[in-house]
């Protein structure tokens, strides 16, 4: 690079151009902002959607692993029902990484507000009740929870379980994990026992396994330590109960951001959705038989609600917009003079403003239909 290019005042020029590209609100003085009023108008309550009961998915709508272990179940004990609610998520995309010219990046964050922890705990308890009802309807007897809790191994399992509600920060987003009242929360990566590939045959071998996106990296790294404590307790509980154990996990992704872009493309973008998604695979029922033989039935595809969860509001700050504009301006100027490559950058933030009433109206039918769908694979 020549000395003239190195000495050229790139930051000042980029700043000047970037500020000229910003909207007037970004360069206005703080004194020009409207002063807060003495009183704000009351926020109108969100309309509660009327969601009819949902039908169970057809048998081919669920994925079954080790199906032979799901047969011949005449009685079971429900040892865990966990409800994961994702309230913060981020998504990003880039394009043009394989090209020598310009590059585009986009990043969006989304946060869900207005939820009530007590109502989410009630939803976890409802999931436990619906699981038992669905099992009984299939002709599978369920050990009363009080009888299970009286077993010595149950107290041991409670001691090695996680404390609920549990805050998690994982690849799939941030949120809270709840356990049905009186049941332990077993928060751990499941890939140690069962491996579901993203394809079958040669395709499955080439594409690899699904990841457990709602268990944090730290929890995956400590999976061996957790398994070393939890598995013996589960084994003893199953022996004392004299029947297989059922473990339920439901994941409600209330925050969704999806990115689109490719190494060979020229544009990148993100899509933010106002819906409730129950992702594939992570919504599942595990059955543990004596000796540690597991079987799993899970959603084959993600199940998104037709009704929205509230109001989606763009809360991107002036600072975020300024950084995006300045980054784009600086890199484009540098690239035009043979220094690096130009990057078109964008960053956005959204809030999905919900309420306990709206969330319950959307989530409850979906939870009930999911449990009905998953239990179809269990047979006496």
Q: What is the mean pLDDT of the chain?
A: 79
Question: pLDDT tens digit string along 328-369?
Answer: 554 555 555 555 544 555 678 889 999 999 999 999 999 999
Tell whether the model's pLDDT for residue 23 goes beyond 90.
no
Is residue 187 within 8 Å of 219, Cβ to Cβ?
Answer: yes
Q: Is 18 helix (H, G, I), strand (E, B) or coil?
A: helix
Is residue 82 within 8 Å of 185, Cβ to Cβ?
Answer: yes
The model's confidence at residue 82, banded by pLDDT at 50, 70 and 90, is: very high
Mean pLDDT of 171-190: 93
Which of 151, 143, 235 lies closest to 193 in space, CA to CA?
235
- pTM of the full structure: 0.79
Distance between CA atoms of 130 and 146, rounded to whole angstroms?
Answer: 17
Q: Is 76 helix (H, G, I), strand (E, B) or coil?
A: strand
More confident position, 37 or 318: 318
- pLDDT confidence of residue 2: 38
The model's confidence at residue 91, banded by pLDDT at 50, 70 and 90, is: low
């Amino acid at each position: 690079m020549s000395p003239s290019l190195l000495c050229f005042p790139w930051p000042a020029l980029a700043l000047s151009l970037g500020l000229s590209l910003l909207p007037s609100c970004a360069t206005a003085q703080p004194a020009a902002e409207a002063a807060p009023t003495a009183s704000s108008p009351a926020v109108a309550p969100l309309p509660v959607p009327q969601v009819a009961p949902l039908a169970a998915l057809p048998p081919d709508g669920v994925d079954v692993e080790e199906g032979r272990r799901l047969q011949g179940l005449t009685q079971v004990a429900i040892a865990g029902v966990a409800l994961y609610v994702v309230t913060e998520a981020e998504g990003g995309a880039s394009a043009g990484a394989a090209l020598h010219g310009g590059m585009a990046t986009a990043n969006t964050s989304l946060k869900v507000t207005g939820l009530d922890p007590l109502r989410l705990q009630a939803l976890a308890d409802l999931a436990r009740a619906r699981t038992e009802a669905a099992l009984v309807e299939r002709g599978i007897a369920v050990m009363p929870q009080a009888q299970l809790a009286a077993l010595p191994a149950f107290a041991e399992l409670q001691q090695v379980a996680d404390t609920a509600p549990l805050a998690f920060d994982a690849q799939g987003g941030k949120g809270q994990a709840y356990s049905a009242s009186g049941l332990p929360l077993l928060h751990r990566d499941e890939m140690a026992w069962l491996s579901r590939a993203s394809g079958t045959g040669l395709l499955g071998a080439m594409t690899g396994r699904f990841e457990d996106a709602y268990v944090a990296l730290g929890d995956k790294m400590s999976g061996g330590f957790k398994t070393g404590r939890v598995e013996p307790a589960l084994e003893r509980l199953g022996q004392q109960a004299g029947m297989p154990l059922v473990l339920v996990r439901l994941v409600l992704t209330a925050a969704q951001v999806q990115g689109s872009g490719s190494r060979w493309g020229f544009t990148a973008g993100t899509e933010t959705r106002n819906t409730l998604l129950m992702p594939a695979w992570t919504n599942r029922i595990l059955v543990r038989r004596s000796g540690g033989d597991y079987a799993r039935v899970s959603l084959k595809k993600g199940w998104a609600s037709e009704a929205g969860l509230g109001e989606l509001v763009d809360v991107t700050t002036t600072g975020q917009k300024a950084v995006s504009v300045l980054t784009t301006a600086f890199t484009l100027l540098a690239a035009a003079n043979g220094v690096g490559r130009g990057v078109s950058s964008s960053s956005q933030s959204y809030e999905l403003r919900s309420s306990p009433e709206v969330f319950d109206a959307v989530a409850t039918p979906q939870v009930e239909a999911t449990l009905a769908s998953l239990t179809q694979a269990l047979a006496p």
